[in-house]
């Protein structure tokens, strides 16, 4: 199980033994001044019980990381700092890129890897995603590995096959001690930003499929420690439906996480 930053307060889910993780993926939104405001407001809205319920990670744009690191440290806020991406090489001639060691130096603990928007718009292949997972672990951070099927793949009954191949490709090379520390986000592409979330049954089935890949590679014990998030049009009204599912340990929230009030309501749901 991942060593979490606030383990004094954080309690595992008594049903599964796993720590819940609720993450805000801000995507390319909020400049560093807006980011400071939003984080202060979120901190004001949350109660101690919220931090015991779940670890909360905020994934702002790169330019917001340093200001948020300073804010979180100086005000002793109980948020984990996350990134949305990184390069797989530690340094070098890769103009415009940010490496995993650079993120680790800013106290970033979680890095989103292989988000469907990066796969789609920036041509990230399964091989690149795999290299990034390795890079994130090499810098002692936790990858949040995004997988999910397109609408077309869903309609053709290929959801399971797609999830299996994406997960296998991203993690199969890992030693079991690292495999169990993975976070996987099941984000059906058709549910992202569409306002149409997956049905709880579909989310559970996707999460179960993902966990079964870990089980076939490393056995039940490792699979039982992996944390799986659901993402795709999560809002304060549907959040609890997903958090109650057997194989879902958290949420990866996009647009509804930009507004501190709605993100706080998701955590409190
Ligand atoms: P939305 O919550 O805006 O659908 O985005 C989900 C997502 O892509 C999180 O990574």
Digit-coded pLDDT (tens) for 56-108: 999 999 999 999 999 999 999 999 999 999 999 999 999 999 999 999 999 99
Digit-coded pLDDT (tens) for 133-153: 999 999 999 999 999 999 999
Give the start-to-end residue ranges of the domains of the chain.
19-43+55-84+97-268
Digit-coded pLDDT (tens) for 44-56: 999 999 999 999 9
Q: With the CA atoms of 112, 118, 120 and 123 taken in that order, what torsion angle do they form, in degrees rounded to the nearest 10?
A: -120
- Separation of CA 231 and ligand 1 centre (Å): 6
Q: Selecting from 3.20.20.70, 3.40.50.300, 3.90.76.10, 3.40.190.10, what CATH number does the domain 19-43+55-84+97-268 have? A: 3.20.20.70
Catalytic, 187? Answer yes
Q: Is the CB of 234 under 6 A from ligand 1?
A: yes
Q: Up-side HSE of residue 224: CA atoms within 13 Å toward CB? A: 7
pTM of the model: 0.96
CA distance 114 to 255: 18
Q: Is the CB of 147 under 6 A from ligand 1?
A: no
Query: Sorting pLDDT into bands at 50, 70 and 90, what band is 8?
Result: low
Query: Would you say residue 3 has pLDDT above 50?
Result: no
């Amino acid at each position: 199980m991942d060593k979490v930053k606030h383990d004094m307060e954080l309690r595992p889910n008594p049903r599964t033994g796993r720590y819940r993780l609720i993450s805000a993926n801000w995507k390319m939104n909020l400049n560093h001044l807006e980011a400071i405001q939003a984080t202060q407001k979120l901190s004001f809205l949350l109660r101690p019980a919220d931090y015991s319920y779940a670890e909360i990670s905020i994934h702002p744009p790169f330019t917001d990381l340093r200001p948020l690191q300073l804010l979180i440290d100086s005000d002793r806020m109980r948020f984990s700092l996350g990134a949305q991406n990184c390069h797989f090489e530690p340094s070098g001639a890769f103009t415009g890129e940010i490496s995993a060691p650079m993120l680790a130096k800013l106290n970033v603990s979680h890095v989103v890897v292989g988000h469907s928007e990066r796969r789609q718009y920036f041509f990230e292949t399964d091989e690149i995603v795999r290299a990034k997972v390795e890079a994130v672990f090499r810098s002692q951070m936790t990858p949040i590995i995004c997988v999910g099927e397109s609408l077309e793949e869903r309609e053709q009954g290929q959801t399971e096959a797609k999830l299996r191949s994406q997960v296998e490709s991203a993690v199969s090379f890992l030693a079991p001690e690292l495999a169990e520390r993975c976070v996987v986000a099941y984000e059906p592409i058709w549910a992202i930003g569409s306002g149409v979330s997956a049905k709880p049954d579909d989310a559970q089935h996707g999460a179960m499929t993902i966990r079964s890949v870990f089980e076939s590679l490393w056995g039940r014990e490792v699979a039982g420690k992996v944390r799986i998030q659901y993402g795709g049009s999560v809002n304060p009204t549907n959040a609890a439906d997903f958090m109650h599912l057997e194989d879902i340990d958290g949420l990866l929230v996009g647009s509804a996480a930009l507004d501190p009030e709605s993100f706080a309501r998701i955590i409190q749901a």
